[in-house]
Amino acid sequence: MASATILTDENIVEFIEGQEKPVLVCFYSSEEDTQYQFDKVIEELADTQDKVAIGKIDAWKNPESARFYNAKWFPTSIMFSNGEIKDYCVGEDYAEQVMERFANFF
């Protein structure tokens, strides 16, 4: 049973650039009530697929990364391939929607 990697300002770049497969990074805010539902979605994705490396980062606690990747609203999901941003979406809160949005990576 896999789980999403917890990311910080200190390890996000290494995580994104250190993967041989596409990377999904989910920015969230621990200060918002919707966090619990979003966390369940990210963990469900991490448990059910292995074609994408999944990480999550609390933008409230890691503001440098949130600013750098322009994550202003939460949740924000960014798909990377070979270290480059390939797609970006805001507010996707169900696993099926995230999978559909990034279908060509899964």
Q: Compute the distance between CA of residue 72 and CA of residue 94 in angstroms, rounded to an integer.
A: 19
CATH of the domain at 80: 3.40.30.10
- Considering the domain boundaries, does residue 67 fall inside one? yes
- Considering the domain boundaries, does residue 15 fall inside one? yes
- Considering the domain boundaries, does residue 99 fall inside one? no
Q: What pLDDT digit, counting tens, does each position of 19-62 carry?
A: 999 999 999 887 776 666 778 888 888 888 889 999 999 999 99
What Cα–Cα distance (Å) separates residue 11 from each residue in 18, 27, 91? 10, 14, 24
Query: For the chain, how many structural domains are there in total?
Result: 1
Q: What pLDDT digit, counting tens, does each position of 59-90 carry?
A: 999 999 999 999 998 889 999 999 999 998 88
- Considering the domain boundaries, does residue 52 fall inside one? yes
- Considering the domain boundaries, does residue 58 fall inside one? yes
Question: In which domain, by residue range, is 17 found?
Answer: 1-21+46-92
